[in-house]
Amino acid sequence: MSNPLTTYTGLPPFSAIRPEHVEAAVDELIAHNRAKIAEVLASGGPYTYDNLVAVLDEAEDRLDRAFDPASHLNAVVNNEALRKAYNACLPKLSDFATEIGQNRDLFNAYVQLKNTGYERLDTAQRKVIDNALRDFRLSGIDLPKDQQQRFAEIQSRLAEITSQYSDNVLDATNAWHKHVTDVAQLQGLPESALAQARQAAQQRGLEGFVLTLDFPSYYAVITYADDRALREELYTAYCTRASDQGPHAGQFDNSALMNEILALRHEEAQLLGYANFAELSLATKMAESSDQVLGFLRDLGRKALPAARREFDELKAFAKSTCGIEDFRSWDASYVGEKLQQAKYSISQEELRPYFPAPKVLAGMFEVAKRLFGVSVRERNDVELWHPDAKYFDVLDAQGEVIAGFYVDLYARQNKRGGAWMDDCLARWRRRDGSLQRPVAYLVCNFTPPVGDDPALLTHDEVTTMFHEFGHGLHHMLTRVDARGVSGISGVAWDAVELPSQFMENWCWEPEALALIAGHYQTGAPLPDDMLKKMLAAKNFQSAMMMVRQIEFSVFDMRLHREFVPGRGVDIQKVLDEVRDEVAVMKPPAFNRFQHGFSHIFAGGYAAGYYSYKWAEVLSADAFSRFEEEGIFSAKAGADFRAAILERGGSEEAMDLFRRFRGREPSVDALLRHSGIEVA
């Protein structure tokens, strides 16, 4: 029987994919790719881009087309059989990637191409060659055999345990729920949250309400529940997930995994001649050193801390005077913050929900992209999906030609990984036969799902998240680069990859754009002027506190990866406590285990790179300031951003592309201004 993962063309056949297909497809295609590399090298050259890079691109694309749908399904409809199949493939894929990176003959073939045919290549192709030679060195091509073997073992083990870390967070999230039968205990929760909790209970065959640690449920309680003990209970369960603390203490504990991950990363860095993993991580980023990154973060922290302290003092004073809370604690912060925002601006996320039905937001977001970049979006109903919530859209250029596509899966549910992300389904590239593979993206969020016959009603924060992920998607989908290794987000420096996503968030605050994305779900009425004014006035509410929190995460990440000492390790909790002493305004309780669920750095691509959010935010704020100068729907500025940033992918250095768009180096001033932070 044929395996759909090795035989399909076009879009993935999700309904035909079974767990037993995954490992078989990966085994078959690794063997095929290994043979293809041997065949290419057997020719002995002379090597050209077409007979070396493009041939291997075709083989790599087949492997990606087999594994990527399985990886996606593991994230959005996780089950035990699929997880087992997915995890079985990770060491194999890691070992094969390391094998390629340590293939001396293949390295020599790239060197020959660099030395003989390089000048005849276009800009993108040259960047592919340069990146490949860099990555060979970062894979240990220059190491002696015994050290190469150890490097391979490290990569394989890291693939295994970072996935286990992520599984533990998901399992800990799914393992906890609270059944509530007395609605009085849920006083303060908006009707939308009550309806969702009631629906969650019905899905479990229970009467009353069920609260979970899926973010929409957790957020509703921590922000609106008048019952302080209930807020504390959910806060405790949420911030101790996968740790040695809390209601499932030790059951899904990531403690040992975190230490092993840091130790292996440090060993990997030292094998490659770097002082620590932080310096190794920066070898492929815009930033030049960990000193530069920490200097950037601490400078930003110094500028934001005075305002953050004022915001926190105001919060505590309001908690005492209005909410009767003398001993202000972490589980009070969102609740009191919501009350304070209401008192100051007479506006709340819940009041805005009816004006942001998901279908209207999607349609408005697509119209924003059309006005900025000249592309239109059209839903398709003939594409296989993995869940009834998912949708598929084509992206068309100004001539009506389909140039890309994307899937959307917006709502939280059981067995779906938390958070929001964009991932690539298919990369754009031109094959050797001249045919063009169009890019396709996955856009995944965990918003409050629809209840009954009403559409999902989003908070403005969720709207902003949707625009953020769509920005990543546009970066992937609007590329014009034909070279696979630097097309879309491939090859983009990690500290620049957030530029388009954070850039797109700005339109969620512009009245002209809000007129497109907001409309009452029952009447279609636009967002009332008074609500709009209040929302805009509240834009920078606690923005300095939020900024220092992001700086806290970033400094913690960088210090962890630069301060690890062989034989002694690093005291993760101690580092986090020290960072909080330096930059935080609100100290969490001792049982808080934020680090045990910090998947960005322990299971994602942000290790020694979480600072990228703030780094890229400087770029995005400065880029948007051009639209403030020329008009937020300036066709010229939009076309220039598309041409300089979105279309070029990773084919040129990120700073060169930014300068091309902005005409100068980036400045931090726009970010501080947009955040409402005045610096003396």
State how far the Cα of 650 lies from the Cα of 124, in Å rounded to an integer.
8
3-state DSSP assignment of residue 216: helix
CB 164 within 8 A of CB 88: no
Candidates 469, 498, 510, 552; catalytic one = 469
Burial of 608 (0-12, 13-18, 19+ CB in 10 A): buried
| Residue carrying the six token digits 């969620």 | 508
Helix H or strand E segment including 503: helix 499-505
Could you tell me which residues come within 8 angstroms of residue 557 by beta carbon, excluding any fewer than 6 positions away? 598, 601, 606, 607, 608, 609, 610, 611
Helix residue spans in 139-227 (DSSP H): 145-175, 191-203, 215-224
Contact by Cβ (8 Å): 659, 665: yes
Q: What is the DSSP letter of 219?
A: H
SS3 readout for 64-103: HHHHHHHHHHHHHCCCHHHHHHHHHHHHHHHHHHHHHHCC
CB 172 within 8 A of CB 236: no
Question: 3-state SS string over 327-384?
Answer: CCCHHHHHHHHHHHHHHHHCCCHHHHHHHCEHHHHHHHHHHHHHHHHCCEEEEECCCC
Q: Cβ distance 112 to 47 under 8 Å?
A: yes
Q: How far is Cα 375 from Cα 399, in angstroms, rounded to an integer? A: 9
User: Distance between CA atoms of 445 and 442, rounded to whole angstroms?
Assistant: 10
Q: For residues 675 and 539, give the distance between their C-alpha atoms in angstroms, rounded to a whole number.
A: 8
User: C-alpha distances in angstroms, 505 versus 39, 113, 346, 498, 569?
Assistant: 48, 42, 23, 11, 39
Whether 469 is a known active-site residue: answer: yes
> Could you tell me how many residues make up the chain?
680
Q: In three state form, how does the secondary structure of 6-23 look?
A: HHCCCCCCHHHCCHHHHH
Cα–Cα distance for residue pair 597/171, rounded to 1 Å: 11
- Cα–Cα distances (Å) from 28 to 35, 462, 660, in that order, read 11, 41, 44
Residue 482 phi, psi dihedral angles, 5° rounding: -95, -15
The catalytic residues are: 469
